[in-house]
Copies of this chain bind each other. A is one copy, B any other.
Amino acid sequence: MRSSSAAPAAKPPMRDALVAAAFRLFSEHGYEQTTVDDIVSLAGVGRRSFFRYFPAKEDVVFPDHERCLAGMTAFLAADGEEGEPVRRVCDAARMVLHMYTENPEFSVQRYRLTRKVPGLRASELSVVWRYERAMAEYLRGRFAGRPDGTLRADVIAASVVAAHNNALRSWLRSDGKGDAVAAVDHALDYVQREFGSPADPVDGPVLVGRESAPDDEGSPRPDDVLVLVTRRDAPLWRVVQELETALDRG
């Protein structure tokens, strides 16, 4: 029989308590000046409890990355060779974003900390590298046998990570204000336009991108550039038809 007083319901799990204690001490005394002893003392647990959750002090700074990396790897592995692979890695990147946006205050706090401590910056680069490799390995599998398969895989994975981080860092620098999801969607859309397969171009040409947007009045600007992708064996009339539509002359 469990007594209702035996387990204080409001108490966060020990792991969360350690993270909270650590970040409070990092912000008050600095990362370097804070020891694991200080952290366990504030959290009211023993040293062994700390090391059960975190191999070293720096790991408490990135408490959710291992879980997120495992989740992303599983998500990519669950893809049964269906679907557009570039879209898939973009969706994988959105899983990382979710980890940041589900706790904006903590994410901003950590961002400030990693800017200040070179050792943490290096740890973060290692974490980012592992995300990028997970994506690249998935793409290498999907592009196996294609010309330049590993090259494309590595470049696309790097592009997805760079686009994600460009939008994420803007959001973190603005103290978590604004819509991070929309910003990352916009950045990933750019990568998908550059690298994603156009929707099966079997019947004819597909307009996949424009270099610049219409001006304020919505009129096409003279320097607007169209990018048209077409199969070589598409009927010429279909290509011209698509072009006329794209050029607003149809």
Closest partner residue, chain B, to A206 (CB atom): B225
Chain B residues, Cβ within 8 Å of A222: 231-233
Classify the secondary structure of A's interface with B: helix
Cα-based distance from A2 to B35 in the complex (angstroms): 58
The complex places the Cα of A167 from the Cα of B154 at a distance, in Å, of 10
Which residues of chain B are within 8 angstroms of A230 by Cβ–Cβ distance?
225-226, 228
Whether the Cβ atoms of A225 and B201 lie closer than 8 Å is yes
Question: How extensive is the interface on chain A, given as a class?
Answer: 35 or more
Q: How far is the CA of A186 from the CA of B155 in the complex (A)?
A: 13
- Let me know if A226 and B229 touch, CB within 8 A: yes
Chain A residues numbered 127-184 whose CB sits less than 8 Å from any CB in chain B = 129, 147-148, 150-152, 154-155, 157-159, 161-163, 165-167
B166 near A162: Cβ-Cβ < 8 Å: no
CB neighbours of A125 from chain B (8 A):
122, 125-126, 129
Known contacts A159-B155, A213-B147: does B228 contact A224 (CB below 8 Å)? no
